[in-house]
Structure 1
């Protein structure tokens, strides 16, 4: 999917490949709400072997879909969509959008909005009736962004680290 709506240069969205993993991991590290890394440190972090193994697990799952946004041949954003079948609401399938990251230097340029439009179209194509996401409480700019796109703050989230 290519989109130019609201974006200075066209953004191409596609499923990620193993070759994309270092850049995806770097984008996630740069966007870490608790401890963001500078670009050089994040690029080095992106080559840690744990990310290749994580990608293998994600890509082996039919429920998980990892996407990248490219602009001018460079990966500038990423997100993951997970399909969650359930019993609630007469078996409505949910989609969890997570690990949404845009290159910090390009935030506000429309890349994130293009990724979310892509996520919603993809979710509908997969029979998903509701999409949900969570965002770190400290990321108030991100919260305003999601609300502008039509997402509602409907629940409180909870997490528990098990490792």
Structure 2
């Protein structure tokens, strides 16, 4: 076994949920909205996502360990001459892997998959407090072009 085994990006499975939810909860924002002690709602959500061909929830695995996750959603549209776009959500990298290049590999995967899906635009949102993430996305060619709004239901 090597010190740094090969990294694989693959579709997420129910068995990956404890690691995924732990990563989602591992920051000040996620700690207030995720519940790693009760995976029931996440199991149902992953099933809905897996049944939708426009949803791609993936994990990065090094050796046998899940070290990252992201969701890519393909959205057909009318604007931009009927263009299809993709939305990147829930990008998380395990604390032990930060700075390893995994985040870059994830975004490269999402962009390439978006091209395969004939998307004309890749978009994402990042909480206003995540300034390090903003710099990361800008380094990868994304531009802060819109103001986002949310309505909690």
Instruction: Give the TM-score normalised by the residue count of structure 1.
Output: 0.85
Q: What is the CA-CA distance between 1:50 and the residue it aligns to?
A: 1.0
Assess if the C-alpha contact under 8 Å between 1:25 and 1:46 holds in 2: no
Between 1 and 2, higher relative CO (CA 8 Å, sep ≥ 6) is seen in 1
- Identify unmatched segments of 5+ residues in structure 2: none
Match of 1:151 in 2: 142
- 2 CA distance for matches of 1:36 and 1:102? 15
Match of 2:63 in 1: 72
Q: Aligned pair 1:108/2:104, yes or no?
A: no
Q: Aligned pair 1:127/2:118, yes or no?
A: yes
**Structure 1 residue runs of 4+, over 2 Å off?**
33-37
Q: Choose the corresponding residue for 1:12, options 8, 15, 32.
A: 8
Q: What is the CA-CA distance between 1:9 and the residue it aligns to?
A: 4.8
| Cα gap change, 1:12 to 1:35, in 2 (>3 Å) | closer
Q: What is the CA-CA distance between 1:10 and the residue it aligns to?
A: 3.0
**1:152 is paired with a residue of what secondary structure?**
coil
Assess if the C-alpha contact under 8 Å between 1:22 and 1:51 holds in 2: no
- 1 CA distance for matches of 2:81 and 2:67? 38
- Decide which moves more: 120-129 or 9-18: 9-18
| Cα gap change, 1:129 to 1:90, in 2 (>3 Å) | same
Match of 2:25 in 1: 29
Q: What is the CA-CA distance between 1:105 and the residue it aligns to?
A: 2.7
**1:129 is paired with a residue of what secondary structure?**
strand
Q: What is the CA-CA distance between 1:26 and the residue it aligns to?
A: 1.2
- 2 CA distance for matches of 1:27 and 1:93? 29
- 2 CA distance for matches of 1:66 and 1:93? 18
- 1 CA distance for matches of 2:123 and 2:135? 15
Assess if the C-alpha contact under 8 Å between 2:17 and 2:39 holds in 1: no
**1:119 is paired with a residue of what secondary structure?**
helix
Q: Choose the corresponding residue for 2:52, options 46, 52, 61.
A: 61
